[in-house]
Structure 1
Amino acid sequence: MSLYFHLRAVPPPALRNSATWLERLFGDDSDTVQRRLDRHREEVLDKRYLDQELLYVGDPPHRAEDRPRAQVVLGGRPVFHPDRYKPPFLVLTAGQAHRVARFLTMTDFDDLWVFARDELLPRYGGVTAEPDTRGIFAAAHRELTEFYTQTAACGDAVVKRLPT
């Protein structure tokens, strides 16, 4: 079982609404993936991706203008896998990716942290571990911001693959 959540930038003309095509999209070797990571064409979140999502969910209910915050990690239109036991792929259009990039570049990580810290800290060693925990989540936030900013600059869509 993979513990990683993959996000990949895809030019809109190349995007297909096919789970088989999307499965092949993520079938590259580790060297190819690393080159895309270095160019911010792909992002990989470790097993903490669900906890990372806590930074972006906001205080419910979500207002319409807050929609991009809900799309950062787990948002997107599902493309269901033929194997019903596998999770769907998630797709953000180029326009949605642009709105997410704008949200991330305009958001202060400290504000996100204040909202989520009380729920996150007990999972990662409590208050004494806050500097390290905060650092881990801040680094992932920076990487997501770089990924979405580069993706938006290229006018690309985003495809997300959940762990199976």
Structure 2
Amino acid sequence: MSAYLRLRAVPAPALRNSPAWLERLFTNAPETVPHRAGRHREEVLDTRCPDQERIYAGASPHGPDVVLGGRPVFRTGRHEPPLLVLTAARTRGVAGFLTAADFDVLWDTARDTLLPRFGGEGAEPEARRVFAEAHQELTAFYVHTAEHGDAVVKWPTQP
């Protein structure tokens, strides 16, 4: 079973605690969202999502929030994982963590756990490149989101 994680920036004053409202953030056509919210941005982590979390695990209190953390908002009558919400303040903290993080140190800490899952030592250059790109994309997403004072809503999904 593969997991995807969609992250969406939301203006903090517009944020609602309603599962239905939060789900609609992700079900509208991407081209219509910027008109409605003014500056929505989205990031998607693909099937490496659970593994990307290993890059940040133990790095700081903000590390796990980068990928899987946040306040859960449970969906009524569904067996799907909850939506996750990061406040604007928590988003700023994650942006600060990612900006200050040294990817080489993060990689060195996680590599022994990750390499067996991605082809072993012979595949290290490619695996490292993929995780470094995801780290750069997450950093850009969080920094841009924090600059606007926005919150983040996360939706773990199955393909």
Instruction: Give the alignment's TM-score, normalised by structure 2.
Output: 0.90
The aligned counterpart of 2:64 is 70
The aligned counterpart of 2:20 is 20
AA aligned opposite 1:85: H
Distance across 1 between alignment mates of 2:52 and 2:84: 17
Q: Is 1:148 aligned with 2:142?
A: yes
The aligned counterpart of 1:88 is 82
Q: What per-residue deviation string (whole Å, max 9, x for no partner) do you get for residues 9-44 of structure 1?
A: 0001110001011111100225558xxxxx881100
Distance across 2 between alignment mates of 1:149 and 1:14: 19
The aligned counterpart of 1:62 is none
Q: Is 1:127 aligned with 2:151?
A: no
Q: How many percent of aligned residue pairs carry the same amino acid?
A: 61
Q: Kindly report structure 1 stretches of 4+ aligned residues shifted beyond 3 Å.
A: 30-33
Provide the secondary structure at the position in 2 that maps to 1:67: coil
Work out whether residues 40 and 150 of structure 1, in 8 Å CA contact, stay in contact via their aligned partners in 2: no
Q: What is the CA distance between 1:86 and its match in structure 2?
A: 1.0
Q: What is the CA distance between 1:3 and its match in structure 2?
A: 4.2
Instruction: Give the alignment's TM-score, normalised by structure 1.
Output: 0.87
Distance 1:40 1:113, change over 3 A: farther
Q: Is 1:139 aligned with 2:133?
A: yes
Distance across 2 between alignment mates of 1:132 and 1:31: 33
Gapped runs of 5+ residues in structure 1?
34-38, 60-65
**How many matched pairs?**
154
Gapped runs of 5+ residues in structure 2?
34-38
